[in-house]
Amino acid sequence: MPPGRHDDYTINTIIGPNSNLKGNIDTPGFTRIDGSITGDVNASGRVVIGERARMKSNVLGTAVTIGGVVYGNVIAGESLVVLSTALVLGDIITRRIKADEGCLIHGRIKVCPDEESWASAVSEYRDAQKVKSALPVFTKKAGRDEVPSKDGVPPAKGGSSKDKA
C-alpha cells in the first residue's frame, strides 16, 4: 500500500440526487456528489462524482472518481478514475489516471510520477488561477462580448465600428 493512501470509506459529505448547491465546499474526508454544484470542491479525502452529477467546479481531492459531468479543473493527489459515463471539460493534474473507454475529456492532462513534478504542476496551476482571478471580466450583451473599438467606444447595436469608418 503506497504511503498516504486513504482507505477510509466513511462518507463525510453527501450531495444527493436532485440537490442543487451554489457555493464552495470544503470537506474533511470522503465526499459523494450525485446532485448539481456550482462552486469549488476541496476535499481532504476521496471524492466520488456520480453519473447524474453536474458540476461547474474545480475539484480537489486525494483519489477522485468521475462518472458525471465536470466543467472545471481536477486535481487528484493520488489517482483519478474517469468512468465511461463521464465528461470532463477542464485540465487534470494527478499522479495516476485511469480513463474508461467511452469517457470524454477535453483539456490538458498532467500525470506527475514523482514529488518534484507534482509540486511544480500544482504550483503552476495555483499561479495561473491567481492570474485568471486578477484579469478583467468581459460582460456579454446582445450575444457578443462587449469590447471597445480602437477609439474606445463600443460598437453600436446592429453594426461594428468598421461600418462607421
Number of domains within the chain: 2
Which residue bears the cell 472545471?
Answer: 72
Fill in the amino acid letter for 140: K
**42 and 77: one domain?**
yes
**55 and 13: one domain?**
yes
Quote the DSSP letter at residue 162: G
- Confirm whether 15 is domain-assigned: yes
- Confirm whether 159 is domain-assigned: yes
**108 and 161: one domain?**
no
Per-residue model confidence as pLDDT tens for the chain (165 residues): 344 444 556 778 889 999 999 999 999 889 999 999 999 999 999 999 999 999 999 999 999 999 999 999 999 999 999 999 999 999 999 999 999 999 999 999 999 999 999 999 999 998 888 887 777 665 454 445 455 444 544 555 554 444 444
**94 and 164: one domain?**
no
**4 and 51: one domain?**
yes
**79 and 153: one domain?**
no
Question: Closest Cα to residue 24, out of 59, 49, 50?
Answer: 59
Domain around 147: 136-165
- 74 in Cβ contact with 57 (< 8 Å): no
* pLDDT for the residue 134: 75
pTM beyond 0.85: the answer is no
**28 and 69: one domain?**
yes
